[in-house]
Amino acid sequence: MRLYLVQHGEARSEAEDPERSLTGRGKEETRRISDATKKVGLRPSTIYHSGKKRAEQTADIIAMALDLSTRLGQGLKPNDSIHPWVERISKEAKDLMIVGHLPFLEKLASFLVCGDEEAKLVLFRYSAILCLEKKESGGWAVDWFLKPEVV
């Protein structure tokens, strides 16, 4: 099983746009990442997003490229506890994608890989995708990390 963690694309400031929709750059970088993932055949069974506009827009761009749909995932806000999702992920057999925010994604990745949500193992970046793979032992490992500037 693979878990794809995506930090939303670059968003407007709250002063400029209270809903914090994606900037033009945020949309363009997410499209580039989406095109690259399509070429390599990435096919998560479900794409979850937090419900915040910037995450939903990012998820929609990726879903459109992969010809998939998105779903609202409860408990994916920036400061939500990761533990309900750790439990949920542990029961999944199919690949999943979560489009969300820091520090949630940072904590989730760190906890899955090393058991310490405060370890900050990954330097997330807007529109980037981290792929974690579940090992036979049940633990998790980083498989790859794709940033917009490399595609």
Domain with 139 in it: what CATH number?
3.40.50.1240
Ramachandran assignment for 86, one of left (phi > 0), alpha (psi -120 to 50 degrees), beta (any other): alpha
Report d(CA 149, CA 137) in Å as an integer.
34
pLDDT band at 40 (very low <50, low <70, confident <90, very high): confident
Average pLDDT, the chain: 97
**Cβ atoms 106, 7 nearer than 8 A:** no
Domain span including residue 76? 2-150
When divided into structural domains, the chain yields a total of 1
Report d(CA 5, CA 26) in Å as an integer.
16
Phi (first) and psi of residue 143, to 5 degrees = -95, -50
pLDDT tens, residue by residue, 61-119: 999 999 999 999 999 999 999 999 999 999 999 999 999 999 999 999 999 999 999 99
pTM attached to this predicted model: 0.97
Report d(CA 143, CA 13) in Å as an integer.
32
Question: How many other CB atoms are there within 10 angstroms of residue 142's CB atom?
Answer: 14
